[in-house]
Amino acid sequence: MLKRNRKVFALFSLLVVASLVLAACGNGGGGQTGTTGQGGEQQASGPDSPNYLKLNLGDEPPSLDPQLATDSVSFSIIGATYEGLVRQDANGDFPQGSGIAESWEVSEDGLTYTFHLRDAQWSDGKPVTANDFAFAWKRAMDPRTASQYSYIVYPYIKGGDAVASACGDDGSCDGDDAKIEEALNNVGIEVVDEKTLKVTLSKNVPFFMNLLTFPVWRPVRQDIVEKYGDQFATDADKAVYNGPFIVKEWNHNNSLRIEKNPNYWDAANVKLDYVDFVMVSDAAAYINAYEAGELDATGVPAEFKEQFEQTHADELGSYYDGATFYLVLNTTKKPWNNPKARQAVSLAIDRETYINALNKGIGLPATSYTNPVITAPGEPGVSFEEKYVRPLNLFPTKADPAKAKQLWQEALQEEGLTEVPTLEFVGDNGDVVKTRLEFFQQQLKQNLGIDLQIVQVPFEERLERQRTQKFDIIMAGWGPDYDHPLTFLDMWVCDGPYNDGKYCSQQYDNLVKQLQEATDPAQQRELSIQLEKLIAQDVPIVPIYHREVLYAQKPYVKNLIRRAIGFSPEFKWAYTEGRGQ
């Protein structure tokens, strides 16, 4: 069984986690007016002064600690305020000199990376050093930190597995400090000097540079973390930043401001003076705010698509953000422990109707789990899902009520049940989310006779319920951390930190382990296909759709980069020109 730490949960990417607000900021957000006024002095040409954006996060960021954050709301702020060794450019590449690493060399066997750091400063003027990265990475691996994303750090660093397994089998680390420290001292992370970091991997990882853009790999200062302890990064003044921006103000559950970091190494290329965010989940409110000029960009729910096509056609855009949405069934409760019950739910849902009726044709019905934006291993530019998995039709686009009812009754009989009580269906707050939850409520009532009680809660509470299995069914989603099928497929191992339905299969775990260790691209593709087939057979989750994001953006907003893999949107190069004209 793969060893992972599962203690503190927050969503990515993904889930980022990842509910219907998975990439609330990724699509430009949406919300009510920000905390700034409507503008300032206008230049005759060129960027505006002052230069700012007014956007919406949709929800309160659950954590701005790079090693603890796991949801897309938090990631959008961390991506703007922390700089890793590399930073994606506008094309999604990682050129040398794009981040804190000015250059690097890789050994012939692909196992050793030597990074040479540029002269860079934290927001308080202290230098960014190799130790800041070493401390952060070891902190992520340390089981006492309880980082949900430790699993994309320790398996790839030499000696990392010994750190992950340093605590007792019960998950408690009491009395294990000496063992953990010894393991940490022996990992393949060497601070050669203040400006040189040498990293030895446990295996050849073709997507290692991609991994380094992710928050858990971002540096943090040891003295600041130790100064604030559990309060680190919980307020604007309880952290220091080395990215293009700093968190200047954070009015919890209300608003947040990031301002240009004057000590950032590449500050000359940062044109925005600040970005003001509000935290509003009500679609009508943020749509009205956009139309009133109180927001510079907004996500456009399907319910407003026709309206915006008529009134803001030249401001509309769309992109596939890499998010796949699905239902999680709590297998610790009957009848969800029975795969036939889970198969019945999958067959009872009409994915095609969901896309066409509710989403107005936006997005793709999910006939498999891995999102289409993921590249097939060894085949640059080729979608793994489109070429290898979609033709298999593993999940139907149309409902099959007769087959669903048959499997449902068989599951109930096998579990000794004659009926099930009303089940809780948990989702985030917001009117748009509610209409989606009601769709599934109606489908399962009509096709299986199941009664669902919809329970809408704040984003952070939904994450906590998901983590602690306080649900019967929950709507969730995942966005990619890096460009490889593994970023989706490794989620459902028995002790996976995001395996909230608690599905467990030794066969699945073995296939994931083989995929993690495989170096041949053809073998990676074949193992990924086998895992997709097993997902369709066991249904650890019920894939629903691959999201396409529709957004509106004012014409004076320039260079606000949106992408499916990596931070989105990217604020570093964004600016406005012609606001108020």
* pLDDT value at residue 171: 67
544 and 376 Cβ atoms separated by less than 8 Å:
no
Rg (CA), the chain: 23
120 has a pLDDT exceeding 70: yes
Query: 570 and 442, same structural domain?
Result: no
Buried b (16+ CB within 10 A) or exposed e, 23-41: bbbbbbbbbbbbebeeeee
More confident residue, 37 or 47: 47
256 phi/psi in degrees, rounded to 5: -155, 140
* pLDDT value at residue 45: 58
20 has a pLDDT exceeding 70: no
* pLDDT value at residue 320: 93
* pLDDT value at residue 568: 83
Identify the three-state secondary structure at position 194. Answer: coil
Residue in this structure with the two tokens 């009409």, named with its chain if needed: 350
* pLDDT value at residue 23: 30
Whole-prediction pTM value? Answer: 0.85
Give the mean pLDDT of 370-390. Answer: 96
Residue 29 lies in a domain: no
Residue 33 lies in a domain: no
Query: 389 and 450, same structural domain?
Result: yes
* pLDDT value at residue 38: 28
pLDDT, tens digit, 9 for 90 and up, residues 83-106? 999 999 888 888 999 999 999 999
Residue 489 lies in a domain: yes
More confident residue, 135 or 6: 135
31 has a pLDDT exceeding 70: no
In this prediction, residue 12 has a pLDDT band, given cuts at 50, 70 and 90, of very low
* pLDDT value at residue 170: 67
531 and 490 Cβ atoms separated by less than 8 Å:
no
Provide the residue type at 66 as one letter: P
Weakest mean pLDDT among 166-175, 327-336, 408-417: 166-175
Residue 227 lies in a domain: yes
Weakest mean pLDDT among 40-54, 174-188, 193-207: 40-54
* pLDDT value at residue 512: 96
* pLDDT value at residue 25: 30
CA dist., res. 299 & res. 202, Å (int): 41
Q: Is 85 exposed, middle or buried (0-12, 13-18, 19+ CB in 10 A)?
A: buried
Query: 289 and 152, same structural domain?
Result: yes
In this prediction, residue 141 has a pLDDT band, given cuts at 50, 70 and 90, of very high
- Residues linked to residue 328 through DSSP beta bridges, in sequence order: 474, 541
Give the mean pLDDT of 419-425. Answer: 93
Residue 277 lies in a domain: yes
- For the record, the structure tokens of 471 come out as 């649900």
Residue 6 lies in a domain: no
| CATH number of the CATH domain containing 445 | 3.10.105.10
Query: 362 and 288, same structural domain?
Result: no
Residue in this structure with the two tokens 């009848």, named with its chain if needed: 335
Query: 565 and 511, same structural domain?
Result: no
Give the mean pLDDT of the chain: 89
Query: 436 and 398, same structural domain?
Result: yes
481 and 12 Cβ atoms separated by less than 8 Å:
yes
What is the DSSP secondary-structure string of 488-499? HHGGGSTT-TT-
Residue 292 lies in a domain: yes
Neighbouring CB atoms inside 10 A of 403's CB total 15
Query: 382 and 271, same structural domain?
Result: no
Task: State what percent of residues in the chain have pLDDT above 90.
Answer: 78
Identify the three-state secondary structure at position 559. Answer: coil
CA dist., res. 64 & res. 510, Å (int): 34
In this prediction, residue 172 has a pLDDT band, given cuts at 50, 70 and 90, of confident
Weakest mean pLDDT among 12-21, 40-49, 80-89, 180-189: 12-21
Give the mean pLDDT of 282-297. Answer: 95
| CATH number of the CATH domain containing 163 | 3.40.190.10
Give the mean pLDDT of 326-346. Answer: 97
Query: 371 and 441, same structural domain?
Result: yes
Query: 562 and 519, same structural domain?
Result: no
33 has a pLDDT exceeding 50: no
* pLDDT value at residue 443: 97
Provide the residue type at 73 as one letter: V
Residue 478 lies in a domain: yes
CA dist., res. 421 & res. 334, Å (int): 11
Query: 499 and 381, same structural domain?
Result: yes
28 has a pLDDT exceeding 60: no
62 phi/psi in degrees, rounded to 5: -65, -30
Query: 374 and 262, same structural domain?
Result: no
The total of structural domains in the chain comes to 2
Q: Which domain holds residue 92?
A: 52-296+554-576
Query: 424 and 349, same structural domain?
Result: yes
